[in-house]
Structure 1
Amino acid sequence: MRVLIADDEPLAAERLQLLLAKAEGAQLVGTASEGESAINLAEALAPDLLLLDIAMPGLDGIGVARALAALDPSPAVVFVTAFDQFAVAAFEVEAVDYLMKPVDPGRLQRAIERARAYLVQRSAQPTPGKASQWLEEFWASDLSGLVRIAARDVDRVSAERDYMRLHVGRRSWLIHHSMAALEEGLDPELFVRLHRSAIVRKDFISGFTRNPSGRWLARLADGTEQPVGRLYSDRVRAIAGR
């Protein structure tokens, strides 16, 4: 991975260089201290990955990411910032990851691997088609900043008051969405709402059974069961093809 660093703080840029020197599978090809020079260096050096600060003099990191999106191929972008309020803007410019300063070495390594996976996936689909109308990813907070979660990796969604919990394997994250908005935004070919407080990925359902009162229960791949609300019992018949 050929990496370009763009940060107007000399100490922050130096720390990133030191961390990058110890990271696996990454090679520093240049550094920039403001937005315009970051664009010029990216055009000249064609890096695979740009570690990009957001708050910079002149053109900020969001503007840099938008400008570089026009390159073919464009570098993967990982934002490195001291502020967490830019997460939505980062999502809009399709950043691969969002790291909070001071950067943890292990977190940086995961961001590099995530960028590599993103580039491999993108190269396997060289001709972009029409943008999907469905939600494809989420940004959620974790201890070191924000993490990007692919919608297709979500096993199930459960409601917790004003928040939704995304369950991915043994981990879970809270996001601020409504259940109705998620039901409308998630691809109905992949997900089904089974309860007023639960959405499940269809291929995560291993079967259905009834409890003693006749209510449907969905058996899930992790061994748990999800009650099916009375208003959603028709979804069981639709999934089973009946």
Structure 2
Amino acid sequence: MMIKVMIVEDEEQIRGILKKMIERTSDCSVVASCGNFASAISEFIKVRPDVVFMDIDLAGESGLDCAKAITEVDPKVKIIFATAHSEYMANAFEIYAFDYLVKPFDLERITKTLERIKAQGDVKETENSDSKSEQSYEKLVIRGKEEINLIDTKDIIMVERADGMCRIVTKDEVFLTATSLTAIQEKLDPSQFMRCHKSYIIRLSAVRKLEVYGRWTYTVTLKDTSETALMTSEKYNEMKQNLLF
């Protein structure tokens, strides 16, 4: 299938370079190219591309806001941020960016990104209205004090809220963030993770053992970590019903 691409970039020379790079990938065609917020929205509505390469800074206008407006028109569009501003990566992934490329652009990286989209085949025609949120479950973007971490959600074992911070526990590392437990829960696939207690989220497939801890609570032993979580009896009954044991 032919992938229709739109470029939104305020520098004409860079628009030309990107166009040449994109069209080096087979079955990819640049159907629109523009340099500001207003023309991006009007061109998008007119040509309905599958993919948008979006700069963060559009001559003082926000590419992030432009991307949000475009995804409101068509939630299935793939947004690829192509920018010199790596510090906006977290914000970009919060609106479900498909990828984030930092200038100077690398032809191989652009090709790989487009090939990933092509490999999804007729995704745009078949995916349902929940597909954007499903895509967002793949990565968790977490702001630390001096860094931004992109965590593969498949690596998360548990999340604990303690002392005003959240601890995200993976097999090899623990990440700290001031982000609330509820905000993290919203970024995780509810079929894979459970808010088992007011202070804990666990990966269901990581549960190894449950032990009674008081009248209304269980201690949860998890795979690949020495840390434990707590689970309320209500959540235990919910898990038991869903897992049929």
TM-score scaled by structure 2? Answer: 0.61
- In the aligned structure 1, how far is the partner of 2:96 from the partner of 2:105? 20
Post-superposition Cα deviations, 1:31-90, rounded to whole Å, max 9, x if no partner, equal: 212222322332332211110112113753234324333535763222212223434543
- In the aligned structure 2, how far is the partner of 1:32 from the partner of 1:183? 36
Listed as ranges, the matches of 1:1-242 within 5 Å are 1-23=3-25, 25-57=27-59, 59-71=61-73, 75-87=77-89, 89-91=91-93, 93-112=95-114, 115=117, 123-126=125-128, 128=129, 136=137, 138-139=140-141, 153=154, 155-157=156-158, 164-165=167-168, 167=170, 176-178=177-179, 180-181=181-182, 185=186, 190-192=192-194, 199-202=201-204, 204-205=205-206, 207-208=208-209, 218=221, 220=223, 224-229=224-229, 231-232=230-231, 238=237, 239-240=239-240
- Number of residue equivalences: 222
Distance verdict in 2 for CA 1:119–1:70, change over 3 Å: farther
Distance verdict in 2 for CA 1:232–1:183, change over 3 Å: farther
User: Which amino acid is the alignment partner of residue 70 of structure 2?
Assistant: L
CA contact (8 A) 2:90 2:142 kept: no
User: Which amino acid is the alignment partner of residue 221 of structure 2?
Assistant: A
Compute the displacement of 1:20 (Å): 1.6
Distance verdict in 2 for CA 1:164–1:206, change over 3 Å: closer
CA contact (8 A) 1:154 1:201 kept: no
Post-superposition Cα deviations, 1:172-227, rounded to whole Å, max 9, x if no partner, equal: 8957345744576456664246899974311x2363288xxxx966353xxx3544
Percent of pairs with identical residues: 21
Compute the displacement of 1:2 (Å): 1.2
CA contact (8 A) 1:6 1:31 kept: yes
- In the aligned structure 2, how far is the partner of 1:147 from the partner of 1:120? 28
Unpaired runs of at least 5, structure 1: none
Greater CA drift, 55-64 or 4-13: 55-64
Compute the displacement of 1:3 (Å): 0.9
Post-superposition Cα deviations, 1:109-134, rounded to whole Å, max 9, x if no partner, equal: 454356557895564344x47x98xx
- In the aligned structure 2, how far is the partner of 1:37 from the partner of 1:198? 46
CA contact (8 A) 1:76 1:118 kept: no
User: Which amino acid is the alignment partner of residue 101 of structure 1?
Assistant: K
- In the aligned structure 2, how far is the partner of 1:3 from the partner of 1:89? 22
Post-superposition Cα deviations, 1:2-27, rounded to whole Å, max 9, x if no partner, equal: 11111112343233223323345532
- In the aligned structure 2, how far is the partner of 1:26 from the partner of 1:175? 41
User: Which amino acid is the alignment partner of residue 138 of structure 1?
Assistant: L
Distance verdict in 2 for CA 1:92–1:227, change over 3 Å: closer
- CA RMSD after TM alignment: 4.6
TM-score scaled by structure 1? Answer: 0.62
